[in-house]
Every structure is written in structure tokens, then in C-alpha cells.
């Protein structure tokens, strides 16, 4: 990818004398941007283009060409690329459209481009893309109007967007915000270079600290995951945007899990699994990128101190912090007393409120700030200073104090929220202190920084997936009844309820006697996946009389509501103790393979879509993270006098399921374990019902 971003010379195919045209614009941009390499317009019809000598082909160029920008009509693109390859060009950016996005012969041309790239090793970006930018090298290999006049400052953010329009808008946003940019690329139809290639390149780039990405659809799970892991292990922070959440789960599906596993949910799981931060708006995308791009220390955790000149804004920040899971821990009592000695009317808890008194006594800032770091032990501080940033001498004095204190606590992160003049902003940012106009955005940025810190920590401590038991059975070839499904899952290390199948009433009575009353009776049939909807489950059967009555009732209901179903008999299962109902599931995604789902609370999983996904396989640490991620987790902690549930048994089962699913992804469509009952701590967990849908069903 080096010739793409660091070319010594650039050839422009289809270079036009009209700087408003797609072929004219990159040349115009490059001529005026200050790019120091050679520029070669390629155009057989002119001797000079925009004042530069033009060449008929790249082969006619006297010197080396690292990068070609191709803006000829679609039918001529392949020939141009062949010419490039023949001249030893390292990389080409195809701006032209009319390829796979229009289908037909365009798709055929695009396959030709892919083949050429694979054959020659020349990297091709596009077609149908907006091009590339390297701000430090002043390379504008793009026709987006957003690059006109350059207007970019070098920085530590690199951006990759599958969409050209999105990339162009982001570029304008970056300029408007004055963010520092390093590399920018749009990948378009991804005939060769794709999103994962760009992330992997940025992951190894010394001038990049933050990777911003807009992803539409991944095509290669293995390379994407490798790129995300490389970025994380190289200490880069990744902020991604993925749109399309509103379509999730719209389609009907065979299992609960499948109906919840819109591709959006799978991406959400992927991002969390590999520590990427998912932004929900463009403001958030760049707020987080900005926060990560300054050379501030990385916080160790999520303990947040709030320092304010307004009690109201302090409370607002505390609300938002609590909502996004930051720990707004109070100052210790003795430190609160010291704060009160310094300023009797202050709010000493956390938020620490200096009140408007700060303006009369600037030293309050240093004193309070010092106390908060020393005694409060906060990983991060957000300081709200209202409009102080509009007065340079005041702001400058406060920055001095800030730096003095931070020198003593070099591992802490501080974010300042105030309305600031451009010169105050420059002053603070040059000192590595980030500024947000709006206090809730400062808190959300703090949350993102804590997220990255915790994800990095988690990645370091992450254990390997458990081993698949040697005795694990293969998935069935057709849908089997729930007892057989549970037998298979049990072989894979997932605990299941004790149960037997009885074909007759008498056999049922014997089974119940063996298992012990009370028992649950259920219709056993591969053809009735949702038994409760036909009344096919009777719980709390206490004795043989009850069992015989219930047995007859079930057979009657099955005959009435599902006359076509093949009955295997009646399941006699041990009545499980009190526990928390959860759901474990697997779907096999066309791109990501086996994906595991977890949720708490039966019908509420569907009502609230409160579920977590991960790409299989993974270990118990990742399973614990899934459990922590769902809101319903609170039900596992022991609400209203209930005992806390056995989360360790739950995590072990989720991890075991992921290993089984990954091992048999080719043979599976989906697995539903619903309910998976989590008993009180120390008592384990049990699959009460299960459905395995094999792949080759149709």
C-alpha cells in the first residue's frame, strides 16, 4: 500500500484541461496543494494539460511512477491499468464509475480489474471511488469538492470510507472542525483494496493514532478481524460507523435467534469483540476521534471526576455519565471537608462545584483539581468552565495551573468543556488538552476513552476458547426433537435438564419415578418447535395421577393443534428449581460464520431486543463481557431478595456453545437454547429446551 500513500510521482489518466471535470480536478488540486513529487498528465490528445507536459501512456513517462489516478471512461479503464502495470506503477486509484454498481458489462470489467491486480500485484483502489489523500505529503488524489483549496492540517487521524459521498462529507467536517488528518481513502467498489486492507495499513502507520472508518459490508471475515486485532495490538484506537440498524430483524426467520440477528447486531458484536468504538452520529464519530487524537494519557478506568462552575451543568454531566456507565464516585469525606475549607459554598461531593467564585479566585481551580486527583483517584476529569475560554488571559492562567497539576499526575486524563476563542483552543490543544463546547459531549468523549482503556485491558487478559470435548456429537442432519437436541448440546459441554422420553403413559410413569416428582411434561416432536403456543407444556406435575392426566391432555392437544406432526412421545423432565431464564443462540452468518447470541428474560428479549452477539469461537472472558453488556443482566444480580445467579456457569456454557458452533458452522443454520435457566450462584445452569436447525434443511 506504500505507493498509494507515499508516491514519488503520480500519473493522471484522463487528465483534463478543465479543472472542474473529474479528470481535471485531481491535477488541479495536486498542482496547487504543494505536492513535491512529479505529476504526469496522461492524455494522448494534448501536448500539455494545465500547463504540464502530457504523455500518451505511462510507459512514455521518462521517470518512475508510483501512483496512477485513473479518470478515463469505464470502457477504457482496464487498458489504462494494463499500461500502468506494464510501466511498473505500484498502485492505481480508479475514480471512474460504471462498473459492478451498474452490473452487466461493468461487472465484467470490474472482474478484469480484480484479475489484473491479483496477477500483477499492483494495488487498485476503486473503481467508483472518491480517491485518496495524504495530508503530510500534500497528496490530493481525489475529485471531491471537499478537498478544494486543501484547507487540511496534518494530524493523527486516518479515515477509510466505503462510501465516497460519506467520505467527502467527513472531509468537509474535518476541515470545519480543524481536526488534524493524516490519510484519507474511499474504497468504492473494492475490486482489490478493501476496507480491511486500509485498516491494516493504518494499523501499521506511524503517523496514525486514530482510525476512523465507515463500513457498509464486510466480505472477508478473517482479514477484517486480523486488521482490527492488529490495530488494537498496535495501540491504535478505532472509531467506526455502520449504518442500517433500523432494518435489523425485520425479516421473519426460523428461530428466535435468527429473527434477532440482523446483520447490524452482528457488526455490533464484532466491534465490541475487537474493541472498536461504534459511533451513532457523525458528531460522535469526530468527537471521539478528536479525543483520541490528542497526546493525552490513556485513562486506566472509568472513574470520572466532574469539576464545574455551575451546579446545574455539574448535575447534567453526572446524569449523562451515569447513563453511559461511568463511575461518578464521590470524593472521600475528609477531602470533602478540605474542599469546604477552601470554599465554604462549594459543592464538594462529585461534581465538585467551584461556583462562579472561580472568576474571583483563580487558584480555586488548581486547589480543587489537585485534591480531586490526589484524594478522589479519578482516572478522568471533565472540567466545565462555561465561557472562560473567551478570555485569553484567564484561560491561559488556568492552563498553567492545569499543567502544573497534571505534571504530578501524568497518568490522568483531563477534558475541558468551555466556549473558547480560536486562539484559546489552539493554546489548549497544543498542550494536549482537549476542548469541547458542550459539556455532555465532553462526558461522552470521556466514556469513549474509558471504553478503549477497558477494551485494551480486556484484550490483554483474554483467555483462549475452551476445547471442544472429544465426545461432542455432530449436529443432526434434520431437525430433531428437543431431547435429542439437548443430548447433542450436553455432549458439547452445555449443561441440560435431566429428562427422558416416554412413548406411553405407563412408560411416562416409570420415567417420572426414576427422575423424581415434581416433573414437567412436554410434547416431543421435531415438527412442533414452539410447543407452548399449542399448550404442549404442563408444569408442576406432582404425582402419578397428575402425570397420567397430563400425558393424555398433551397427546390430545397435539392431535388437535398439530395433526400432521410426527410425535416421538412425551418428554418427562425434572422440574427445575427457581432461576433466571436466559436465551442462548447461534446463527450462521454468510460473512461471519457462527455468531453466538445471549439475552436475559424470555419474551423480553424480543420486546426490547436486549441481546449481545459475538463471533464464535471465544472464551469465558468474552462470554462474561456479553453478559455484562445486556441491560437484563440486572436480573442475574439478585433483585428484590432473589439470590444472585450463577454467572460463571452461564459464561462457561456460552463459551462452550461458541466453540461447538464454530466447529460445526458449515452444518448449522441456527441453535436456540430457550430457556437456559441460570440457577443461584454455585448451583449451575440448565438448558430446559433446545432447537437445532441444521444447514442442509432445504
Instruction: Report yes or no: 68 and 76 within 8 Å, Cβ to Cβ.
Output: no
Output the smallest distance, CB 314 to a second copy, in A.
8
Q: Which of 51, 63, 246, 393 lies at the binding interface for a second copy (CB under 8 A)?
A: 246
Could you tell me the end-to-end alpha-carbon distance of the chain, in angstroms, rounded to an integer?
44
Report in angstroms how near the CB of residue 362 gets to a second copy at its nearest. Answer: 14
The DSSP secondary-structure symbol of 36 reads -
The Cα-based distances of 488 to 173, 196, 207, 665, 696 in angstroms read: 54, 37, 51, 15, 18
The answer to whether 385 and 417 are in contact (CB under 8 A) is: yes
Q: Which stretch binds a second copy (CB under 8 A): 71-79, 104-112, 322-330, 466-474?
A: 322-330
Question: Least separation, in Å, of the C-beta of 33 and a second copy?
Answer: 18
DSSP string, 569-592: EEEEEE---S-EEEEEEEEEETTT
Site for a second copy in 575-604 (CB under 8 A): 601, 603-604
Window 338-397: residues binding a second copy (CB under 8 A):
345, 355-356, 359, 386-387, 390-391
Nearer to a second copy, 75 or 325 (CB): 325
CB of 271 to a second copy, least distance (A): 15
Q: Judged by CB under 8 A, does residue 282 bind a second copy? A: yes
559 counts as binding a second copy under rule CB under 8 A: no
Neighbouring C-beta atoms of residue 178, cutoff 10 Å: 15
Binding residue (CB under 8 A) for a second copy from 240, 307, 309, 537 = 309
Contacting residue, 146, 187, 208, 481, with a second copy by CB under 8 A: 146
Which residue, 322, 339, 321, is CA-closest to 376?
Answer: 339
Residues in the chain: 698
- Shortest gap between Cβ of 581 and a second copy (angstroms)? 11
| C-beta of 3 vs 168, nearer to a second copy | 168
Whether 145 contacts 171, CB under 8 Å: no
The cell numbers describing 273, all together, are: 469483540
Shortest CB 552 distance to a second copy, Å? 16
Q: Does 446 bind a second copy (CB under 8 A)?
A: no
Tell me, rounded to whole angstroms, the distance of Cα 235 from its chain centroid.
Answer: 16
Backbone angles phi and psi of 89, in degrees to 5: -65, 140
CA atoms of 9 and 5, how far apart (whole Å): 11
Listed in order, strand segments (DSSP E) in 265-412 are: 277-278, 304-308, 352-353, 380-384
Task: State which residue, 118 or 631, has the beta carbon closest to a second copy.
Answer: 631
Residues 414-433 that bind a second copy (CB under 8 A): 419
Binding residues for a second copy, how many (CB under 8 A)? 70
| Smallest gap from residue 160 Cβ to a second copy (A) | 13
Torsion of CA 595, 600, 606, 611, to 10 degrees: -40
The answer to the question of residue 164 lying near a second copy (CB under 8 A) is: yes
Pick the binder of a second copy from 26, 41, 168, 476 (CB under 8 A): 168
State which residue, 417 or 658, has the beta carbon closest to a second copy: 417
629-648 residues in contact with a second copy (CB under 8 A) are 631-632, 634-635, 639-641
DSSP of 249-274: T-S--SSHHHHH--HHHHHHHHHHHT
Cell output for 26:
485531481
Q: Compute the distance between CA of residue 281 and CA of residue 549 in angstroms, rounded to an integer.
A: 59
Give whichever of 345 and 461 is closer to a second copy, judged by the CB atom.
345
Spatial contact of 673 and 690, defined as CB atoms under 8 Å apart: yes
Q: Which stretch binds a second copy (CB under 8 A): 200-208, 304-312, 471-479, 567-575?
A: 304-312
Does position 283 bind a second copy by CB under 8 A?
yes
Residues that bind a second copy (CB under 8 A): 101-102, 145-146, 161-166, 168-169, 172-173, 176, 214, 216, 241, 243-246, 280-283, 309-313, 315-316, 318-323, 328, 345, 355-356, 359, 386-387, 390-391, 419, 437-441, 530, 533, 540, 601, 603-604, 606-608, 631-632, 634-635, 639-641
Amino acid at each position: 500500500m506504500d505507493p498509494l500513500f507515499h508516491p514519488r510521482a503520480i500519473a493522471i489518466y484522463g487528465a483534463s484541461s478543465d479543472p472542474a471535470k473529474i479528470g481535471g480536478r485531481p491535477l488541479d488540486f495536486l498542482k496547487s496543494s504543494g505536492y513535491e513529487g512529479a505529476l504526469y498528465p496522461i492524455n494522448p490528445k494534448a501536448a500539455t494539460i494545465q500547463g504540464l507536459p502530457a504523455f500518451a501512456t505511462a510507459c512514455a513517462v521518462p521517470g518512475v511512477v508510483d501512483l496512477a489516478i485513473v479518470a478515463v471512461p469505464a470502457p477504457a479503464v482496464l487498458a489504462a491499468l494494463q499500461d500502468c502495470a506494464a510501466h511498473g506503477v505500484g498502485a492505481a486509484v480508479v475514480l471512474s464509475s460504471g462498473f459492478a454498481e451498474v452490473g452487466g458489462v461493468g461487472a465484467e470489467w470490474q472482474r478484469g480489474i480484480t484479475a489484473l491486480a491479483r496477477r500483477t500485484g499492483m494495488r487498485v483502489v476503486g473503481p467508483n471511488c472518491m480517491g485518496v489523500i495524504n495530508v503530510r505529503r500534500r497528496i490530493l488524489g481525489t475529485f471531491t469538492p471537499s478537498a478544494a483549496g486543501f484547507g487540511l492540517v496534518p494530524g493523527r487521524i486516518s479515515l477509510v470510507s466505503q462510501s465516497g459521498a460519506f467520505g467527502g462529507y467527513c472531509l468537509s467536517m474535518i476541515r470545519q472542525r480543524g481536526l488534524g488528518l493524516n490519510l484519507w481513502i474511499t474504497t468504492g467498489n473494492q475490486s482489490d483494496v478493501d476496507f480491511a486492507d486500509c485498516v491494516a495499513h493504518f494499523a501499521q502507520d506511524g503517523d496514525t493514532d486514530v482510525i476512523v472508518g465507515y463500513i457498509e459490508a464486510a466480505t472477508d471475515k478473517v482479514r477484517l478481524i486480523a486488521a482490527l486485532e492488529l490495530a488494537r495490538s498496535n495501540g491504535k484506537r478505532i472509531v467506526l460507523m455502520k449504518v442500517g440498524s433500523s432494518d435489523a430483524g425485520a425479516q421473519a426467520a426460523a428461530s428466535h435467534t435468527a429473527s434477532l440477528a440482523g446483520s447490524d447486531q452482528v457488526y455490533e458484536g464484532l466491534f465490541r469483540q475487537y474493541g472498536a468504538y461504534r459511533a451513532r452520529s457523525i458528531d460522535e464519530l469526530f468527537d471521539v476521534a478528536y479525543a483520541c487524537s490528542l497526546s493525552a494519557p490513556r485513562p486506566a478506568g472509568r472513574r470520572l471526576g466532574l469539576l464545574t462552575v455551575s451546579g446545574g451543568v455539574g448535575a447534567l454531566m453526572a446524569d449523562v455519565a451515569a447513563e453511559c456507565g461511568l463511575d461518578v464516585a464521590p470524593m472521600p469525606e475528609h477531602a470533602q471537608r478540605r474542599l469546604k475549607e477552601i470554599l465554604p459554598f462549594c459543592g464538594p461531593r462529585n461534581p465538585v462545584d467551584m461556583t462562579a467564585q472561580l472568576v474571583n479566585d483563580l487558584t480555586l481551580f488548581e486547589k480543587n483539581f489537585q485534591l480531586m486527583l490526589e484524594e478522589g483517584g479519578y482516572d478522568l476529569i471533565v472540567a466545565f468552565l462555561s465561557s472562560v475560554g473567551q478570555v485569553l488571559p484567564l484561560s491561559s492562567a488556568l492552563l498553567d495551573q492545569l499543567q502544573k497539576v497534571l505534571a504530578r499526575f501524568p497518568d490522568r486524563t483531563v477534558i475541558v468543556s468551555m466556549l473558547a476563542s480560536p486562539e484559546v483552543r489552539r493554546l489548549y490543544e497544543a498542550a494536549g488538552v482537549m476542548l469541547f463546547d458542550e459539556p455532555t459531549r465532553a462526558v461522552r468523549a470521556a466514556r469513549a476513552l474509558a471504553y478503549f482503556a477497558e477494551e485494551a485491558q480486556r484484550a490483554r487478559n483474554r483467555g483462549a476458547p475452551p476445547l471442544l470435548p472429544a465426545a461432542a456429537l455432530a449436529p443432526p442432519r434434520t431437525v430433531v426433537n428437543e431431547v435429542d437436541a439437548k443430548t447433542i448440546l450436553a455432549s458439547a459441554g452445555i449443561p441440560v435438564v435431566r429428562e427422558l422420553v416416554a412413548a406411553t403413559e405407563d412408560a411416562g410413569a416409570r420415567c417420572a419415578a426414576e427422575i423424581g416428582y415434581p416433573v414437567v411434561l412436554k410434547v416431543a416432536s421435531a415438527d412442533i418447535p414452539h410447543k407452548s403456543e399449542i399448550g404442549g407444556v404442563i408444569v408442576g406435575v406432582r404425582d402419578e395421577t397428575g402425570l397420567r392426566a397430563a400425558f393424555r391432555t398433551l397427546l390430545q392437544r397435539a392431535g388437535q393443534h398439530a395433526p400432521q406432526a410426527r410425535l416421538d412421545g412425551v418428554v418427562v423432565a425434572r422440574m427445575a428449581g427457581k432461576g433466571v431464564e436466559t436465551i442462548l443462540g447461534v446463527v450462521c452468518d454468510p460473512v461471519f460464520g457462527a455468531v453466538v447470541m445471549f439475552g436475559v428474560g424470555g419474551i423480553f428479549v424480543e420486546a426490547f431486543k436486549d441481546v449481545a452477539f459475538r463471533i464464535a469461537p471465544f472464551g469465558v472472558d468474552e462470554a462474561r463481557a456479553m453478559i455484562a453488556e445486556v441491560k437484563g443482566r440486572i436480573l442475574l444480580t439478585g433483585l428484590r431478595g432473589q439470590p444472585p445467579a450463577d454467572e460463571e456457569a452461564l459464561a462457561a456454557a456460552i463459551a462452550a456453545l461458541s466453540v461447538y458452533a464454530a466447529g460445526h458452522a458449515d452444518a448449522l443454520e441456527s441453535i436456540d437454547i430457550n430457556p437456559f435457566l441460570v440457577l443461584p450462584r454455585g448451583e449451575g445452569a440448565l438448558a430446559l429446551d433446545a432447537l437445532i436447525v441444521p444447514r442442509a434443511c432445504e
